[in-house]
Amino acid sequence: MTFAGPTPPAAMTATGGYALRTRGLFKRYGARPALQGLDLAVPRGVVYGFLGPNGAGKTTLMRLLVGLMRPDAGEIELLGQPYTWRQRRRLFEVGALVEAPTFYGYLSGRDNLRALAASGARVPGARVDEVLSLVGLAERGRDKVGRYSLGMKQRLGIAAALLSDPQLLLLDEPANGLDPGGIVAMRQTLRALTAAGKTVFVSSHILPEVQQLADVVGIVNAGRLVREGRLADLLSEGGHVRARVSQADLPAARIALAVLEAPTSVQPADAVGHAWIDVRTTPERAAEVNRLLAAAGVYASAITSGSDLESIFLSLTAAAPRPDAAAAGWGERG
Amino acid sequence: MGLLSISLLKLARRPASWVVLAILVGLIIMVFLGLAASVGQLEGMGDELQVRALLGFPTAYVTVVGFILGFGGLLAVVYAAAIIGADWAWGTIRAIVARGESRVSYTLITFLAIVIMLGVGILVAFAVGALSAVLAAEAAGLGSDGATDPDTLAGIPELLGRTWLGVSQQAAIGFAIAMLFRSQLAGIGAGLAFYFVEQFLVLVPLAGEVLPYFPFNVAGSVVATAGEFGDGFGGLVPLDSDSALLWSVGYLVLALAIATLGAWRAQITQ
């Protein structure tokens, strides 16, 4: 199944340069490395989807970018200029929603935004009402945040990130808690921002959402960038065909599929002795895979194919859950 | 709106501000009710003279201030720790720092807002306390003529100013501890533990020599005759009020330096 990604806006090529770059970024939490030489290049005027499994270093990067933490080594460039955590004023051009949105529950949404507007880059009072309207909270702006739903808090978090009309917007899981209407509205808002030449950096686990939104994606695993490029390019090369065969037939299946000259990998066998063999090839070759297996006397109990971001993500991060065990993919990863 | 104005708005809207004030005012009213009631019961006993001294004007003003420094100081430790600790516990400091706000400015302005709120609280508590003292003195048959003595009234601004400093200094300790531990509970717990350990250290032989210089004892000594309540415990001789004033300023500055350094260096992971 392939989703059509959005056409990269003209701004991506017209504006030129990078909104954000990192070079050799390292960060450790005690003995545990979180980032291990992360090199990232986010062009101006695009929506950049930053993907990675849990513990891959996504949130750590966000914290480094907004000065919450200091890198152990490496360089960051924000909007074309070098940035270190001491140059806090550089963040005046950056809006961020890092991790879950945090507000004072006893204050109204509007007062929370006023409190934020008084810090960092000063913002005119009218802007508070403007961003409240933009995220659909104009009518609930005077209610206490403690009474907001998760989705409303998320909207308020996005409003807070937009307060200073930033050139670069950093969003950590922006669709978290939003209802379908909210997700569509958010997508439109972010699209409008990039159309105006601004850059949106989205860290997310929701791959279909990123696939609909991003122009460029970077995939991080274990603190390193494993792939970066235009989403359209990635999707064109990221197809797969998967066949479910018995464990006993695996050697024969691998020999039979070798003629495809495509990389293969095998997921561990399930409780009933079946394993998934994954061929990195275009989805159109599913029938050929089936024919080759049958010719070798191997009968697949299931064959799937696709070319979506999820399969690319799973193949690059080796984070594929066992198809037979939905819960097997859970748990923190390094 | 400036950062100080918005910090004040946050504190004014925060239920904890008014709960803390209500506790202090409630305690003061109860203490004066208790003192008034005890005058009759202690008649002819030595303690009666001490209670009469506490209730009689103009000393009663100092009695009120003594309660504010004692109970109020303790509550100020909790209050300041709760305010700054909540910014860490709730993660609200994350959004502020991510907007490019100076951590040092934010820390100092937050403390300044707390000090202003403490000032308001002290004024309210003093007004309620003075009124309670007048009523208690009248009820005990002591009269309250001295309450309007011009010389006494002229000294009240300085009395309140010193009280404000003493209470703010105690608040700064809770503030600094909460900032260092980046936690409300740690700030409140460690602040209170610090307070009570200091009070009970007087039982340790020879500690009396240095205890007057300890922060909470210093804060309690900034008002000259407030010693009716705090000092004398275990034979502790408090610092003279002017020396205590200097020490108090020193502790205040030190606590704020620690808090700002803690904020500046912190790696924010909450």
Contact B258, B181 (CB under 8 A): no
CA dist B99 and A89 (Å) reads: 9
B7, B99, B110: which to substitute to probe chain A, counting the most A Cβ within 10 Å? B99
Contacting residues of B for A98, CB less than 8 Å apart: 94-95, 98
Q: If DSSP codes are grouped into helix, strand and coil, which group holds residue A115?
A: helix
CA distances B6 to A115, A118, A161, Å, are: 6, 7, 19
CB B238 within 8 A of CB B221: yes
**How many CB atoms are closer than 10 A to CB A37?**
15
What is the distance in angstroms between the Cα of A177 and the nearest Cα belonging to chain B? 18
Q: Provide mean pLDDT across the span B65-92.
A: 92
Contact flag A91-B15 (C-beta cutoff 8 Å): no
Of B3, B100, B268, which is closest to A88 when you measure between CB atoms?
B100
CB contact under 8 A, A99 and B96: no
Q: What is the pLDDT of residue B225?
A: 57
Query: Which of A119, A164, A171 should be substituted to probe chain B, the one whose Cβ sees the most B Cβ atoms within 10 Å?
Result: A119
Interface A-B: count of C-beta contacts within 8 A: 88
- Which chain A residues contact residue B2 at CB under 8 A? 118
Give the pLDDT score at A321. 44
CA distances from A309 to A9, B144, B189 (A): 20, 83, 50
Residue B85: helix, strand or coil by DSSP?
Answer: helix
Sequence-ordered list of residues with C-beta below 8 angstroms from that of A312, at least 6 positions apart, any chain: A219, A227, A234, A235, A238
Q: Please tell me which residue, A266 or B17, carries the higher pLDDT value.
A: B17
Instruction: Name the one residue in this structure whose structure tokens are 């691998």.
Output: A254
Q: How close B13 gets to chain A, by Cα (Å)?
A: 7
Q: Are strands A216-221 and A73-78 parallel, antiparallel or unpaired?
A: unpaired
For A146-158, the DSSP string reads: GG--HHHHHHHHH
Chain A partners within 8 Å of B269 (Cβ): 29, 63, 68-69
Global pTM value: 0.83
In this structure, what is the dihedral angle of CA atoms A120, B103, A68, B180, given to the nearest 10 degrees?
-150
B199-246: pLDDT as tens digits: 888 777 777 778 889 999 899 888 875 444 444 445 567 788 889 999
Q: Indicate the pairing of strand A240-246 with strand A302-306.
A: antiparallel
CB atoms within 10 A of CB B268: 20
Distance CA A68, CA B95 (A): 9
Q: Which residues in chain B (11-40) have CB-CB distances under 8 A to chain A?
A: 13-15
| A68 contacts in chain B (CB < 8 Å) | 94, 97-98, 267-269
Q: Could you tell me which chain B residue has the CA closest to the CA of A119?
A: B101
- Its sign, for the CA torsion A94, A95, A98, A103, is positive
Complex ipTM over 0.90: no
Give the pLDDT confidence of A68-116 residue by residue, as tens digits. 999 999 999 999 999 998 889 999 999 999 988 899 999 999 999 999 9
Rounded CA gap, A76 and B264, in Å? 20
- In whole angstroms, what is the distance from residue A135 CA to residue A111 CA? 16
Does the distance separating the beta carbons of A116 and B96 come in below 8 Å? yes
Give the closest residue to A58 by CA, choosing from A217, A216, A223. Answer: A223
The beta-strand segments (E) located in chain A are 18-29, 32-43, 47-51, 73-78, 81-83, 94-97, 168-172, 199-204, 216-221, 224-230, 240-246, 264-267, 274-279, 302-306
Helix (H) or strand (E) holding A22: strand A18-29
Q: Is B267 on the interface with A (CB under 8 A)?
A: yes
Higher pLDDT, residue A2 or B174: B174
Q: Cβ–Cβ of B94/A94 closer than 8 Å?
A: no
The rounded mean pLDDT for chain B is 87
Please tell me the distance from the alpha carbon of residue A194 to that of residue B90, in angstroms, as a whole number: 32
Q: Give all strands of the β-sheet with A32-43 in edge-to-edge order.
A: A32-43, A18-29, A73-78, A81-83
Q: How confident is the model at residue A40 (pLDDT cuts 50, 70, 90)?
A: very high
Report which of B263, B255, B258 is spatially closest to residue B170, judged by C-alpha positions.
Answer: B255
* Residues of A with Cβ-Cβ distance to B268 under 8 angstroms: 63, 68-69
Cα separation of A292 and A258, whole Å? 10
Facing residue for A116 by CB, picked from B14, B95, B268: B95
Of the candidates A240, A170, A236, A159, which has an alpha carbon nearest to the alpha carbon of residue A199? A170
- Say what the pLDDT of residue B226 is: 42
Structure tokens at B252: 């205040």
Residues of chain A with a CB closer than 8 angstroms to some CB in chain B:
29, 63, 66-70, 88-92, 94, 96, 98-104, 106-107, 111, 114-121, 125, 160, 163-164
Reduce the DSSP state of residue B267 to 3 states and report it. coil
Q: Which of B148, B147, B129, B132 is nearest to B37 (CA)?
A: B132
Per the listing, tokens 């695993």 go with A221
Q: What is the least distance, in Å, from the CA of A212 to any CA of chain B? A: 27
Residue type, A170: L
Beta pairing, strands A18-29 & A32-43: antiparallel
* The Cα angle at residue B94 between residues A97 and A83, in degrees rounded to 5: 80
Classify strands A199-204 and A224-230 as parallel, antiparallel or unpaired.
Answer: unpaired
* Alpha-carbon gap: A34 to the closest alpha carbon of chain B (Å): 13
Contact A68 B3 (CB under 8 A): no
- Which B-chain residues 80-119 have CB contacts (< 8 A) with chain A? 90-92, 94-102, 106
Least confident of A67-76, A110-119, A222-231, A281-290: A281-290
Examine the pLDDT at A332 and tell me if it is beyond 60: no
Helix B103-139 vs helix B150-181: crossing angle, to nearest 10: 140
Cβ separation A102–B91 shorter than 8 A: yes
Helix (H) or strand (E) holding B214: none
CA–chain centroid gap for B151, Å, is 25
